[in-house]
Structure 1
Amino acid sequence: MLKKTLLAISLASLSGLAMAANPLSVHVLNLETGVPSAGIEVTLEQHQGNQWQALGKGVTNDQGRIAELFPQQRQFAAGEYRVVFKTGDYYRKVGHDTFFPEIPVIFEVKNTEQHYHIPLLLSPYGFSTYRGS
């Protein structure tokens, strides 16, 4: 009986840790220079009705990452989301022209138990993205 109780407590603790982990992260890599893109502002929005509702924002760190973009006080729900990379501001700061002042990436969350990672491969006149892990 004690073993079953301890096992149940351990499993509950592990699932609580998984639930506490932030469900959304982003990463930006500059393909022109081959290094991460630090200092890019990224916003997160959720599609509700005919509008996008702002949920949060962050700035990429020295590794070009935002590890926790989804607001911790909100419930992660299924639906359409949009991350917008403010690349025009970034390129102005580094003194470089770009064709894309913003890069919106719209994605659909179906399974709220999964982690969603949105990498952006960036150059001044092109970009690529995919679902990362």
Structure 2
Amino acid sequence: MATRDPITCHVLDTVKGRPAKGIPCQLFKLDDRTLEFKSVSTAVTDSDGRIAKWGTPLAEITASTGRVVGGCYKIRFDTLAYLTASTAHSGSTKNAFFPFVEIVFLVDNPADGHYHIPLLLSNYSYSTYRGS
């Protein structure tokens, strides 16, 4: 059994300089026929700000090899509750400019073994890159 799913994510709070614990996230895959994103799974970031295993198995988007099927994916990070609850962010919605962040990314076919999506988050900005 794999210790992590083939798509993982990590949220770092750049104001506090710490992992962002407790952010609800949802993974989607674009349906090539309808051109709509379909929900695949959900999870919440752990104490290290990571999601290594999603709430539901990713069998729907993995081939028999365990690799992700190629296509367009999206992770939605619901950041509002985290930003308003955090004392470093003044506990006010006026300090939460981005109520959610959606990161859309492409998976090649055949896919590489692992896709890691880091999110660097603050009240008024965010940044991302392809992690390892």
**Coarse TM-score class (shorter-chain normalised):** 0.7 to 0.9
Does 2:58 match 1:72?
yes
**Offset at residue 21 of structure 1 (A):** 5.1
State the partner residue of 1:119.
118
Q: TM-score, normalised by structure 1?
A: 0.79
* Match 1:60 to one of 45, 50, 71: 45
Q: Which has the higher helix share?
A: 1
1:28-47 residue pairs with structure 2 within 5 A? Answer: 28-47=11-30
**Offset at residue 113 of structure 1 (A):** 4.0
| Higher mean displacement: 63-72 or 83-92 | 63-72
SS in structure 2 at match of 1:89? helix
Give the RMSD, CA atoms, in angstroms.
Answer: 1.8
1:9-24 residue pairs with structure 2 within 5 A? Answer: 22-24=5-7
Q: Distance in 2 between matches of 1:57 and 1:89?
A: 16
Unaligned runs of 5+ in 1: 1-16
- Shift in CA distance, 116/124, structure 1 to aligned 2, threshold 3 Å: same
Q: Distance in 1 between matches of 2:4 and 2:121?
A: 27
Give the fraction of aligned pairs with identical amino acids, expressed as a percent.
38
Larger radius of gyration: 1
Deviations 1:40-81 (A, max 9, x none): 011000011321100011100000000123733322310000
Unaligned runs of 5+ in 2: 63-67
Does 2:125 match 1:130?
no
